[in-house]
Amino acid sequence: MPSFATVVFDLDGTLADTMPDILSALNRVMAEESLREISYAEGRTLVGGGARALMEMALAATAPGKLPEPTIDACYARFLDYYRAEPAVRSRPYPGVIEALSSLRAAGCGLGVCTNKPHDLTLEVLAGLGLAPFFGDAVLGGDALDVRKPDARHLRAVIARAGTAAGTSAMVGDSETDVATARAANVPVIAVSFGYTALAPADLGADALIDHFGELGDTLDRLAGKR
């Protein structure tokens, strides 16, 4: 028996390092607007609230003044176009992800993805990285429902798609948003130390912190033993 019936993952900065493709698209827009590039280190602090929030924060950090809403809208539309053209060219799953997901599946654990990334891009990235078969229909992007993280209903909907209940599930993420979502749904949460967050991973308030996906199975077992 698996320690949890379902484990739900964030995508960007948790399952995969997607920043290279995000920045490729984002910095095309920056160049078109005659704004400086967003660095990898800076980009890690901007991801988590969804693509629109990413665009808004990038523009706020680089533009000399507040841009009018129509300009932000146009920049966001171009960013999505560029990103959809190359959603998984430079991105890679983190070390140990494939092995960890395979092990959980072999143990009978259901798997899901709960992310604020646009739903269509989520599906394309998962497919492009060879991760889609692990999750089936238990995947919901930020625009798939009328709510999204940190609203507990987003996470609960993913868990329901996996055919289980919140009381038998755990979450793995990399940000304050992920921890807040899990807390709202009363679900144990594990944070990764290598993801995208402006806050130090140890300060996220997760139930456990892992440095590599090779630690995930034992960490889930420990959390289950404390319940």
Q: What does the domain layout of the chain look like in residue ranges?
A: 6-18+91-226, 19-85
**203, HSE (Cβ side, Cα atoms, 13 Å):** 4
pLDDT at 6 over 70: yes
Cα(70)–Cα(140) distance, integer angstroms: 28
pLDDT digits (tens, 9 = 90+) for 75-105: 999 999 999 999 999 999 999 999 999 999 9
What fold is seen in the domain 6-18+91-226? Rossmann fold (3.40.50)
Which helix (H) or strand (E) element contains residue 139? strand 139-140
Specify whether 203 is catalytic: no
Please, which pLDDT band fits residue 214 given cuts at 50, 70 and 90? very high
CATH class label, 19-85: mainly alpha
Are the beta carbons of 114 and 8 closer than 8 angstroms? Answer: yes
Cα(179)–Cα(184) distance, integer angstroms: 9
pLDDT digits (tens, 9 = 90+) for 117-133: 999 999 999 999 999 99
Which of the residues 10, 12, 21, 207 is marked catalytic? 10
Please, which pLDDT band fits residue 1 given cuts at 50, 70 and 90? low
Handedness of CA 127, 131, 136, 142 (dihedral sign): negative
pLDDT digits (tens, 9 = 90+) for 145-200: 999 999 999 999 999 999 888 789 999 999 999 999 999 999 999 999 999 998 99
Residue type, 145: L
